[in-house]
Chain A
Amino acid sequence: MSDFLLWSSWWIPFYGLLGALFTLPWSLGIIRRSGPRPAAYINLVMTAIAFFHGSFAFWHSWGHPPQQLIFQWLQVADLNLTLTIQQSPISLGALELVAGISLLVQIYALGYLEKDWSLARFYGLMGLFEAALSGIAISDSLLLSYGLLEILTLSTYLLVGFWYAQPLVVTAARDAFLTKRVGDIILLMGLVALSSDGAGLSFSQLETWAATAPLPPGSAALLGLALIAGPTGKCAQFPLNLWLDEAMEGPNPAGIMRNSIVVAAGAYVLIQLQPVFTLSPVSSDALILIGTVTAIGASLMAIAQIDIKRTLSHATSAYLGLVFIAVGLGHVDIALLLLFSHAIAKALLFMSIGAVILGTSTQNITEMGGLGRKLPATTTAFVIGAAGQVALLPLGMFWTLKRWLSGTWLIPPWLLIVLCFVNALGALNLTRVFRLVFLGPTQLKTRRVAAALWPMAIPMWLLTIVVLLAPSVPLNWRFWLSRQAPLADVGQWTTAWGLLLLVAAGLLGCWLGFALELQRAAARPTQKSLRFLQDLLAYDFYIARVYDFTVVWLVSATSSLAAWCDRYVIDGAVNLVGLATIFGGNTLKYNASGQSQFYILTILLGVALLLWLVFNGDWDLLFDAWRSLAAH
């Protein structure tokens, strides 16, 4: 029985898919009488089944060696596509994380979207979301993961565009889709190239292929970059980072998923691809560069935001930047641990602010204040989530970073600086938000706030407990997945002082967050230089503006040019030919005058012309014949 449950864990993603399909009668309006609630319950039941099935499989996977299930999908000519499923403690653990957070989020959404008229559609999309995510968790094939990432792109588009009647939502959904799509297409290019080069597309085959591939350095570098592009879009890394921030226009429960596990899905694929990045130093350098730029840039952007969701979503990019750095350095275990710790803490933070948003009907933190006394559970959740996120108190992130700095990994000094920077700014940001939202006097919008509904409160409590228990994962991590051997050398100064510096940075951030003067009503400083700095950060370094003037301009200009060319040059030429024909015909018709003399003249001229053509150059012949005729 238990073996069967482990073996059948490939079926778990289908629970979500089935749940999504079962919502169709309600979301299509075929069943109206019962309201949309039954669709939500069906999905909850399906996710719960997925969760328990997954728990069981996870539990049993510990005693078994990792195994692969290979499904033959398509075999054409020299192309052989298989879909591979990996059943190992790690993949099933990731599956469990997905199912667990999805279950909590779906309970949460019952409260958050209580009065929304298209609840069924929401649950259908969540089911699809969950199916794709859990599929990625257990997929061992780049092709399958790519496909599921694309489905994730699609469902992100639909979930961000859930309230499609609002103009900001429409642009946010479009940008989310197109930004990710850029990454996805480049990833697909890499996929096609890999497959053409004879690499099998399962991750384990790629690993052996990467060890033996005779690829020229240029190709290896391009290939690596192409494969990085997909996760860069998914994980909202520079330069494809802006969609996550805009996507905050969507409903909050989807935001919880997006900021915790959806971004992690991209990084998870990246981690599995890590052996390919060792082919070329360019790709690992690119990973480190992208990660560093995003970690620093997004941390800076976060502290200038006044939208409560955006403050947190930029921080998501920053932490995913750390994951990119870890993958670039080959520290695969740390990357996984970072994903786990971040996902859980971030999910809790988003649940907490969801309750705030629903209670106050605003997302602007300068309009909030004094919620700490009114919403104790929400406040606790925020504090614990924040503590789990920042390496200060001994919770998830602290232990994860401690493991990174434990001496088994080579930590270059710059990495320590980046870590301290991200930690300090993360602490500063969370403290700032905490003060603005939960402390201080109440304001107009926070005077009457109802406590969170029980469907929202229960998952919040549960997740709070999980965050408190989360340190056991980095503490008990027993794997060694990275390709380099562990360092035994503890002599690096970065490991000796690293943790201390990190905590000091966290403390500094908290202190700054408490010490800075917070302006509630007018959030813009009066000093010109400060204001410029704040605007620069608040508007995301004007990256969107840069896009407008480069990529967007290029595409729209070339498309207008193509359309113009189509209309006036190509079609114009065609029409000109047509016109010339008609004109020619019209002119010639005046020759048909009806006078017989004119026709005879034409005939004679024609005959003369014909004769001249026939005898041209041979006139002597004609004259000779004539002479001989005359002689007779």
Chain B
Amino acid sequence: MLSVLIWGPFGGALALALLPADWSPARFRQIALAIASLMLLWTLAIAWQFDPAPATWQFSESLAWLPPLGLRYSLGLDGLSFPLICLNSLLTVIAIYSSAVERSRPRFYYLLLLLLSGSVAGAFLARDLLLFFLFYELEIVPLYFLIAIWGGQRRGYAAMKFLLYTAISGILVLASFLGVVWLTAADSFAYDPQLAQTLPLTTQLLLLLPLLVGLLIKIPIFPFHTWLPDAHVEASTPVSVLLAGVLLKLGTYGLLRFGIGLFLDAWVAIAPWLATLAAISALYGALSAIAQQDMKKVVAYSSIAHMAYILLAAAASTPLSLTAAVFQMVSHGLISALLFLLVGVVYAKTGSRDVTVLRGLLNPERGLPLVGSLTILAAMASAGIPGMVGFIAEFMVFRGSFPLFKIQTLWCMVGTGLTAVYFLLMINRVFFGRLPETLANLPRVQWQERLPAVVLTLLIVIFGVQPGWMVRWSEPQMTVLVVSPDLQASTQAVSSWKSQAVRFAAGSAPPLPVEDF
């Protein structure tokens, strides 16, 4: 079942590569779209059979690949990966659909998009540390080319920066994985939450640290973030959609799966520091976004701020906050994808993303009224206006983290307040005001360009009104994730909130700093 999600896109990419290069770009687009849509349908079929309640791996597949190395091709789906797989399938379709029909080297472009999608799916599905790493590295290659070939003016610089950052990130992750397997003398790289439990706390910390830095680069969290704004600004719209919507989630997914999953003790020990880092990153991202002039940069820095909430929730690691972390990943995936799509339409129609140049685009006859309205909606969703998915996700994050990290949570909430500031500044400049003559004769927006944005908007509203439809997939899994394995073995469904308390009381980890509220 699951292999199809990886090998379907890979096979599609291979098929594209074998097709004659002189076919029209539209035909390549159709083929890629068909493959991606099939994958989306396949994901829905999986969703039909996926049962979140038992909180275990489902649809597991396992094949020996390189036994001497301890590498197995083993896949599985659980409540943590399931929403992300859905997000990946959906956004791949949207990215391909919203790719401009006329473009240079279409065959290679769609091939890379499919490769990207397949390897991301592989990383989310892997149940083997080394396999995860392989897909994690594999995904860098198509993205590098996507930025370096179809990017903007400084694409070389941006692509190289992206490559170096994420390559270092990969090396650190690998180092940590190798360290775990070496020190525990395990005979394979199979993912096992109990693997590192036997190690002393100091060793766990030493192993967690490189993993953490590697994943923080990917998320990205201040001060490892500078590759992201450059990559976004230079990448074309569909690539930005995938980058913000799915690829960044690899980092936070890694935090939950490996950071918490493997090194729970060490994680709890450094959690206050992580929460503080999250608060700094949230504020830093929001403040930097206020000063940006490029619409894409505003959205990119906003991404940094919003991804920091996931780190905050992960640091708190209560069942609620972890469920919230997954929900926030989906929420951010949908909202940032929508924002990038809309900015992409504005750029395609006006030829500019500079907020000092654009004005009055809400003009009903000669401007982009629907795109403007949707941008306002997306900005409000990002700023956490209730009725849209951003609010309830962030509320759950804050509510889940507040009992543990009061000060940090409050600062993160200030960051939410600042979200409204930068998006309002952007909207006021770009969409309000009088449409200048220089922008008066814009090309009309086709319904085809609006459709993906409308679909995303509907999803944002639906999950905003009915968050239970999303939360129920991941809640059982997140509840057992933080229960330490020995406890898990004895009592399957203890509220891990209590186990956390026990952990602190037993003094196995340094006590958290107590803030007075």
Contacts and interface: CB of A to CB of B under 8 A. Distances in A.
Asked if A pairs with B, the answer is yes
Interface of A: 28-29, 73-79, 117-118, 146-148, 150-151, 153-154, 157-158, 161, 164-165, 167, 169-171, 173-174, 177-178, 181-182, 185, 188-189, 192-193, 195-196, 218-219, 222, 555-556, 558-563, 566, 570-571, 574, 578
Contact of B417 (A78, A182, A556): A182
Given A74-B471, A78-B497, A151-B386, A193 B402 contact: yes
Given A77-B497, A562-B284, 6 more contacts: A28-B369, A154-B380, A157-B424, A178-B424, A192-B402, A570-B223
B216 interface: no
Interface of B is mostly: helix
A118 B364 contact: yes
Contacts of B420: 177-178, 181
Interface centre among B320, B323, B369, B421 (most CB of A within 10 A): B421
B432 A77 contact: no
Contacts of B360: 164-165
A222 B421 contact: no
Interface string B294-337: 00000000000000000000000011100110000000000000
B209 interface: no
Given A146-B386, A559-B288, A562-B287, A78 B370 contact: no
B413 interface: yes
Given A79-B320, A147-B387, A185-B413, A164 B288 contact: no
26 contacts: A28-B370, A74-B392, A74-B467, A76-B320, A76-B475, A77-B323, A77-B400, A78-B318, A117-B364, A118-B364, A146-B386, A154-B385, A161-B432, A164-B433, A165-B435, A170-B432, A178-B420, A185-B417, A188-B413, A188-B416, A192-B395, A192-B409, A192-B413, A218-B516, A558-B287, A563-B290
B410 interface: yes
B503 interface: no
Given A165-B434, A218-B516, A571-B226, A555 B386 contact: no
A76 B362 CA distance: 40
Interface centre among A178, A193, A562 (most CB of B within 10 A): A562
Interface centre among B226, B369, B471, B475 (most CB of A within 10 A): B226
B517 interface: yes
A190 to B, nearest CB: 11
Contacts of A559: 287-291
Contact of B318 (A77, A167, A170, A219): A77
Contacts of A196: 399, 402-403
Nearest to B165: A574
A185 B416 contact: yes
B396 interface: yes
A153 B164 CA distance: 44
Contacts of A181: 383, 417, 420
B424 A177 contact: yes
B473 to A, nearest CB: 12
Contacts of A154: 380, 385
B291 A562 contact: yes
A563 B413 contact: no
B239 to A, nearest CB: 21
B14 interface: no
Given A192-B402, A196-B402, A219-B517, A555 B434 contact: no
Contacts of B432: 161, 164-165, 169-170, 173
Contacts of A222: 517
Interface in B340-399: 360, 362-364, 369-370, 376, 380, 383, 385-387, 391-392, 395-396, 398-399
B475 A77 contact: yes
Nearest first, the 10 A-B pairs at minimum CB distance are A147-B386, A563-B291, A559-B290, A77-B320, A77-B319, A562-B287, A185-B417, A164-B432, A559-B287, A559-B291
B3 interface: no
A118 B431 CA distance: 16
A75 B376 CA distance: 30
Given A79-B320, A192-B395, A555-B421, A170 B433 contact: yes
A146 B364 CA distance: 32
Given A74-B392, A185-B417, A566-B288, A195 B428 contact: no
Contacts of B478: 77
Contacts of B435: 165
Contacts of A157: 424
B428 A174 contact: yes
B387 A151 contact: yes
A167 B433 CA distance: 6
Interface in B465-503: 467-468, 471, 475, 478-479, 495, 497
B257 interface: no
B45 to A, nearest CB: 27
B468 A73 contact: yes
B291 A560 contact: yes
Interface in B98-156: none
Nearest to A572: B226
Interface string B155-185: 0000001001000000000000000000000
A571 B158 CA distance: 12
Nearest to B322: A77
Nearest to B415: A185
B290 A555 contact: yes
Contacts of B364: 29, 117-118
Nearest to B422: A559
B414 interface: yes
Contacts of A171: 428
A566 B226 contact: yes
Nearest to B387: A151
Contacts of A151: 385-387
Contacts of B383: 181
Contacts of B479: 77
B292 interface: yes
B386 A189 contact: no
B63 to A, nearest CB: 36
Nearest to B222: A570
A147 B417 contact: no
A493 to B, nearest CB: 43
A363 B287 CA distance: 38
Contacts of A173: 428, 432
Nearest to B293: A563
Contact of A164 (B287, B387, B431, B516): B431
B7 to A, nearest CB: 35
Interface string B276-290: 000000001001111
A553 B116 CA distance: 44
Contacts of B226: 566, 570-571, 574
A557 to B, nearest CB: 10
B118 to A, nearest CB: 31
Contacts of A147: 386-387, 391
A143 to B, nearest CB: 9
Given A196-B399, A563-B292, A570-B226, A189 B413 contact: yes
A185 B291 contact: no
Contacts of A574: 161, 226
B495 A78 contact: yes
A79 B396 contact: yes
B433 A193 contact: no
Contacts of B433: 164-165, 167, 170
A222 B410 CA distance: 13
A420 B221 CA distance: 57
A188 B161 CA distance: 39
A556 B287 CA distance: 8
Contacts of B416: 185, 188
A420 B385 CA distance: 40
Interface centre among A171, A173, A174, A219 (most CB of B within 10 A): A174
B399 A164 contact: no
A2 B380 CA distance: 40
Interface centre among B324, B395, B424, B425 (most CB of A within 10 A): B395
A93 to B, nearest CB: 25
